[in-house]
Amino acid sequence: MAQNFRHSEILTIAREAGKVTVEGLASHFNVTAQTIRRDLAELCDVGQLTRVHGGAMIPSGVIALGYEDRRSLASVEKDEIARMVAEQIPDGVSIFMNIGTTTEAVARALLKHRNLMVITNNLNVANILATSPNSEVIVAGGILRRADGALVGDVTAEFIGQFKVDYAIIGSAAVDPDGSLLDYDFREVRVAQAIIKNARKSYLVADHTKFKMAAPVRIASLADLNGFFTDITPPKSIAQLCADNDVFIRTVENFARGR
């Protein structure tokens, strides 16, 4: 039981930090380094971590985390980001919302808004907003990705192209140090690109863990968007890119101090 608990918490720490060390984990759990090495060896053997000198890290970013893992990762921060975004969205507007557990948090935060039109390729977003009598929800067609309720592919991208909306709320799997927004599935990326193209204002919603993730397919650059909502001040290279391209940044830490 204790071992299973450690394994789960080790994976949580690794996802948030990108890497774990034997020394750090031994101190954290108050166990021997030998015990931690055994834990890491077992996690590496099943592919959940990759060995590096002195510890282990999340494997190369070519496969997405499971949906429930993504939902639970930084869940408090996602909810705080969502509340911040909701305060910036007025009643009576049209919105694109793409795939992502953070966009789902935004959907929950928008439940009290009135007269919204929401177009989404995220069945989870649609189900959340379906509980509100104050929003019209339009679900894009396409190929259903059962793992997370995503609708993806050329049909979905073409459907999105029929609209011109006020706001796009975009999530991504990773944010590269050069400001690139990254994801895993090129079919999903095509949809996200169509959403950005057909929105008057596009906002990225991403918590701090996305700065440490990697994924192989590029959606766009942060420079192509209008705003970035996150929980903490982003790395300097990203902050500078946003400043150079008039992309505003809103962070939960600053938002909380200003209230």
Low-confidence ranges of the chain (pLDDT < 70): 1-4, 59-73, 256-259
What DSSP letter does each residue of 118-157 carry, written as one string?
EEESBHHHHHHHTT-TTEEEEE--SEEETTTTEEESHHHH
pLDDT of residue 1: 46
Architecture (CATH level 2) of domain 68-258: 3-Layer(aba) Sandwich (3.40)
Element (H, E) at 248: strand 248-251
Q: What angle do CA 138, 79, 237 make, to 5 degrees?
A: 100
pLDDT of residue 8: 86
Of 220, 141, 147, 209, the residue nearest 179 (C-alpha): 220
pLDDT of residue 68: 64
**Orientation of helix 22-29 relative to helix 2-17, angle to 10°:** 130
CB 98 within 8 A of CB 181: no
Measured between alpha carbons, how far is 200 from 9 in angstroms, rounded to an integer? 41
CB 95 within 8 A of CB 89: yes
Structural domain boundaries in the chain: 2-57, 68-258
pLDDT of residue 88: 94
> Which pTM does this prediction carry?
0.77
pLDDT of residue 141: 93
CB 129 within 8 A of CB 118: yes
CB 59 within 8 A of CB 184: no
pLDDT of residue 239: 97
pLDDT of residue 12: 85
Report whether CATH 1.10.10.10 matches the domain 2-57: yes
pLDDT of residue 139: 97
Tokens of 24: 């750090």
